[in-house]
Amino acid sequence: MLKQPWLPSNSSATRKIWNRLKQARFLLCLFLLNFLLILSVAQAAFGAPLPSQELEIAFDLTGRRLTGKSTITIPAHTTATISLSGLEITALQLNTTPLQPTEQLTFLPTAHDQQVTIHYGKTVTDPRMDGLIDSNGIALTGIWHPQLDTDCLFALTATIPKAFAAISEAEEITSTVSKNIRTVSFRFGHPLSTLNFVAGPYVVEQESIGPGQTLYSYFFKEDRQLAAEYRKKTLGYLKRYQELIGPYPYKRFSIVENRLPTGYAMPTFTLLGQAVIRLPFITETSLGHEVLHSWFGNSVGVDPSQGNWCEGLTTYLADQAFAADRHAEGAFRKQQLINYQSYVPPDNTLTLNDFSGGGSHLLAGNKAARAVGYDKASMFFHMLLREIGDAPFYAGLRDFHARFKNQQASWQDLAASFSKSSHQNLEPFFSQWLTRADLPRLEIAVDSLTEKEGQMELGLTVKQLQEKPYRLRLPLDIVTAQGKQRREVTLSGSDTKLTVSLADYPSQIIGDPEYDLMRALAPEEQHPTWSRFLGAREKLAIIAKNEDQRTYAPLFELLAEFGCPIKGADVVTDKDLAGKSVLFLGADSRLARSLFARPSQPATGFTLEAQENPLSPGQVAVVVSSASTAETAAATPKLPHYGKYTTLHFNLGRIERKTIAESDQGLQVPIDPPPMGIAVPQALSFTAIMEQLGEKRLVYVGESHTRYADHLLQLRVIRALFAQNPKLAIGMEMFSREAQPVLDRYLAGELNEREFLKQSGYFSKWGYDYRLYREIINFARRHKLPIVALNQEKGIVSKVFKEGAASLSEEELAKIPTDRDLTIPGYRERIAEAFAMHSKNDNGPEQFNGFFQAQALWDETMAESVSAFLTAHPKHRMVVLAGQGHTDKSTAIPPRVARRIPSIRQAVIVNSEAEELDQAEADYLIFSKPMELPPAAVLGVMLAETSEGPLVQGLSEKSKAGAAGIMEKDVILALDDEPVTTVDDLKIILLSKEIGKQVMVKIKRKSGFLFKPESILSIPVGL
C-alpha cells in the first residue's frame, strides 16, 4: 500500500484536527483566493522553486520522546501554510523574529525568501496513533514533524544509538559514529509531502541492482534468515518492472522490517511489519505490490485533487499479474468482485474519481473504500487492456511514467497517454467507469433455438438491468458436445439481441466466464465467505451460554469495530435471522443446530465456517467454535487477513486449514440439455436390482401418494428384501410417531383394522385412500415385521409453518430433532420450487421460511426415526416408504440418515413417470406398468366435524347421496346401523363397502317446524 501523506492510516482523531485546521485556513485566506490561484498556476508553469525543510532529530528512548528542529525555507513570492498539530513547540521564529506558536501558521508571499525555525518535541504514547519510540526501535510514519500544505524538498539528520541503523526517503545516506551515538544524514532530491523515519537494531545487508543502484535489507536479528529470500524476490520484481515500465527511478531500494504492523511503500523503501514479514506468502504477493509503487505512487505521484489511480493500477500490474503467472487470473478477478460486493453496498455513491486513499486493509471503516480504489480500479485497468490491446496498453504505461516521473498525475493524464498509444478517443470509456458508482447487472435470456439450413440458430437477449446501460464487451462461451465456442458481444443498450449459428446443439451459455468485466455477480456465482459477513450492512452475533462469553470475549472488539451487535441465543429466534448475516459464537446453541445440525468442527483450536444463511438468501451465516479463550485470542488478529475464505482453522494462531467453497463460474444459462437414456442391453431385471440391493441396509422406495403402481412396487420390493433376510422393518411416512403404540398393537393382533384406523387417526392425519397401503401393512402383520412410524406430529409441523420454530413450547421442542440441517446444497432451491407451485403470489420471505423449516422438520424427523430404529436394532434392514420429495438421495432423508449413521449403505428406488429423472434423485428407476386402484365406495358428500356427527356441507356434481335425497346440513348418524360420530368413522365403514351395492344412511335433519324441529331419517343410497 502506498503510504498516505499527512495522516496515519488509523488516525481518526488526527483527521478531525486536520479538517478543523483546513477550515480555519480557508476562512483566513478567502480574501486572497483569486490572487493566490493565479500565482500558483504561474509558478507551476514556470517551474517556481519549492519550499525546503531541514530536520534535525534526537531521541530519548526511555522516555519515548522525540526532540527536533525544523528549518523551513519558503521561496520568495510563495504562500505557505505550516501545521504544528500534535507537536509540542518550544521555540518558533520567522527569520530572526520570535512568533507565538499556534496549530497552524500561514505565511504570505514576500519579495525575499523566508526562513521559519521551529524547535519542537513529541512524546509517543499510542503506537496506533503516533508510531514507536523505545529500545526495540523507532517507527515514525505519522505526524512527527511540521507539515507544509505543499510538497517540499527534505533534508534530515538524526542522532540514534550506535547499535541502530536508520532509514528514510533518501538516495544518499551517510552515517558517522561518535562514542555511543550514530549520526545519520539523508538527502532526497525530489519533492515530498511528508517524511518517514525508521530505526532499530537492524542487520543491514546489500546487493547490486545495477550500475549505481543498490538493494538493501534492514531486518531484525531474529529474522535475519528471511532477508536473503526477500532480496532475491525483490531483485526479480525490480527486473520485471524495469522491463515492463522503464528503469528503476532511484539509486537505492530497501526492504525494512518494522515492529509495528505496517505494509507501506515509500520512495526508496518499503516498510513491512514484523508479523507480515514472517507470513510465508508475502514474498509472492504483497512484496511485489510494494516494489511496484516505486514507479506508480512514488516516482509518479497521485494528484490528490482528481482521485487516486495508483492503487488500482498497482493491484492490476502486481497482484492480478501474479495470479496470471499461476494461470489463476479469472479466479483472482472473481474474488475482487466478491470482495467488492461484500463491502460496497448497493446504494454506494463512491466513484473512482472520488477515491483518494484506502488506509489500512485491517480496519473495518476502510473496507468499502479499498474495494472501490483497489478492486474496482484494478478491474478498470483490465477492461482497458481488453479495450485497446496489450501492446498499446503497455506502451501507454511507459509513456505515462516517462512524462510524469517525479511529478503528480491524474486520471486525465492516464487517459491522455493511453489515447495516444492506442490512437483512440478513450474519454467515453474513462468517463463511464470513473464517474459512475453503480455496476452493470447482466441477465442472459434464450429467445429461440431452431434448425435452419443444416445448422442450429440460437437467439439470445442480453439485458442490462441497471437504470442506465454501460458500453461493455461481453465474452460469451457457448457450450456444445464438441466443446466451447467463444463469442464477444458489444453491449450499449438495455437489451442487446443476437443470433448465433452453431454446428451442434448448445447445452449452455456462459457469460463473462473469466470475469473480464466489472459487474454485479449473480447469486449462483457468490460463495459464502467470511468477508461477506464482515461487510454485511445488517448483521448479528449470537452467543450461546455464559461460559461462552469468556471463550469468545477476544472477538468482541473486532465485532464492535465492524458494527456487529451481540445477543444471547436465549432471546434470538429464527425470525431474527431473516434479512441479515449472522455469526454463531459456539456451534452448540439450539438455534444454530436447527439450521446446520451439529457442525463437524474440530474440538481443538479455533474454527470458522461460513455458509449461506438458509433463512435469508444473499446473506451468510457463520459458525465459530473455539477450544479456549487463548485460542480465540490467538486467532482474532489474523481473521481480517482471511476474508476471502469459507472455512478457517487455527491452532494457537497458526492457520492449518483454509478453503473456498465452489460456486458457478460465469453467468450460466442452461439451454437444451440433451435427454438421458438407458442402453437397453444394460438394463437390469428386477431380480438383478434386488440382488444389488442385498448389500444395502436401507432402501427407499419413493412414491407419488395417489399412484397405485408405486405402492405395488413398494410391496414387491418389500417381498424381495424379506426373502433375502426376514429381519426387515418398514418405515412409513404415513404415520406420525405418536401413532407407534397403535401400530405395534395392530401388528401384534391386539386391534382389528377399524380400531387401528380410528385410534391412529389415519384419515385425519394422512387422508389418502387406505387401500393404497392396506396390503403392505397386512404383509407386515402376517410376517410380524415391525413398522416404524417416521413422521412428525401434524400440529407441530403446522405450527412451525405458520409461526416458526420459535413458537414451539418446551414440550413440543422435546418432540422434534435438535439437529436440523437447512444448508444441504440444492435443498432450499428444491423446496422453493415446490412452494412456488402451491403458494399464492403475495406470499413473502417469511411465509417461505416457515414452509422451508416445516419441510426440513419433516425430513429430519423421519431421518431421526430411521436412524434410531437401525441403531437400536443393528441386525435389521429397513425399507422406507415416503413421497419422492422425501426420498431425494441428495437433499432429503438419505443425507440426513448418513449424517447420523456415517457408515450406512443405502439406495433409492423410484418408479418411472415418463419424465426425465435427475441422477442425483435416485439410484434405480423402475419401469412399472400403469395400474389403477378400483374406485372407492363414496357417498359424494363434503363433510365437516360437529359435536352431533359429520355435517353435510356440500354435494358433489354426481353425488349418489344427493340423488337419493340427502341434503346439505344433514347430520350423518349411522351407516348400515353402524354408528358414525366422526368423518373418520364414515371413511372406515365405507372401506368395506362395494361399488354397486346399497347402503342405508341414517341422518338427522332440521325441519324448521316448532312442534318437530328435527327428524331422523334412513335413506337408501346406491354406491
Q: Measure the CA–CA gap between 487 and 472, rounded to whole angstroms.
A: 13
CA distance 982 to 985: 5
Range list of β-strands (E), 544-628: 566-568, 581-585, 606-612, 620-626
876 is in an annotated binding site: no
Instruction: Tell me if residue 316 falls in helix, strand or coil.
Output: helix
Tell me if 938 sits within 8 A of 991, measured CB to CB: no
Question: Which residues lie below 8 Å from residue 46, measured CB to CB, with a gap of 6+?
Answer: none
What is the rounded CA–CA span in Å between residue 540 and residue 567?
7
Q: Give the residue from 782, 762, 785 showing the smallest Cα distance to 772.
A: 762
Q: How far is residue 860's CA from residue 897's CA, in Å, rounded to a whole number?
A: 8
Alpha-helix residue ranges (DSSP H) falling in 173-316:
224-244, 274-277, 286-292, 310-314
Number of H helices, E strands in the chain: 32, 48
What DSSP line would sit under 38-104, residue for residue? HHHHHHHHTTPPPPEEEEEEEEETTTTEEEEEEEEEEPTT--EEEE-TT-EEEEEEETTEE----SE
Contact 596, 623 (CB under 8 A): yes
Torsion of CA 914, 915, 916, 921, to 10 degrees: -110
Q: Per the annotation, does 289 bind a ligand?
A: yes
Dihedral pair phi/psi, residue 92, rounded to 5°: -150, 130
Task: Say if CB 622 and CB 609 are below 8 A apart.
Answer: yes
What distance in Å separates the CA atoms of residue 351 and residue 565, rounded to the nearest whole number?
30
Contact by Cβ (8 Å): 926, 907:
no
Tell how strand 65-74 and strand 52-60 pair up: antiparallel
Is residue 525 annotated as involved in ligand binding? no
| 667-670: strand order across its sheet | 483-491, 472-480, 506-511, 667-670
* Per annotation, catalytic residue among 218, 250, 343, 374: 374
Pick the catalytic residue: 169, 290, 733, 860?
290
* Coil/strand/helix, residue 418: helix
Say how far apart CA 299 and CA 148 lie, in whole Å: 20
The three three-digit cell numbers of residue 704, written as one number = 407419488
Burial class (CB in 10 A: 0-12, 13-18, 19+), 732: buried
Q: Is 374 a catalytic residue?
A: yes
- The candidate with the shortest Cα–Cα distance to 397, out of 287, 248, 241, is 241
* Gap between the Cα atoms of 475 and 482, Å rounded: 19
Which residues, in sequence order, are bridge partners of residue 486?
477
> What is the distance between the alpha carbons of residues 836 and 971, in angstroms, rounded to a whole number?
38
Distance separating alpha carbons of residues 491 and 245, to the nearest angstrom:
32
Q: What helix, strand, coil percent values describe the chain, rounded to 5?
A: 35, 30, 35
- Alpha-carbon Rg of the chain, whole angstroms? 39
Helix H or strand E encompassing 719: helix 708-724
Q: What is the dihedral of CA 204, 210, 213, 217, to 10 degrees?
A: -20
First to last CA, the chain: 87
Helix axes 411-422, 427-435, angle to 10 degrees: 150
Asked if 572 contacts 541 with a C-beta cutoff of 8 angstroms, the reply is no
For residue 179, is it left (φ>0), alpha (ψ between -120 and 50) or beta?
Answer: left
Q: Which residues are catalytic?
A: 290, 374
- Residues of each annotated binding site: 289, 293, 311
- Residues of each annotated binding site for Zn(2+): 289, 293, 311
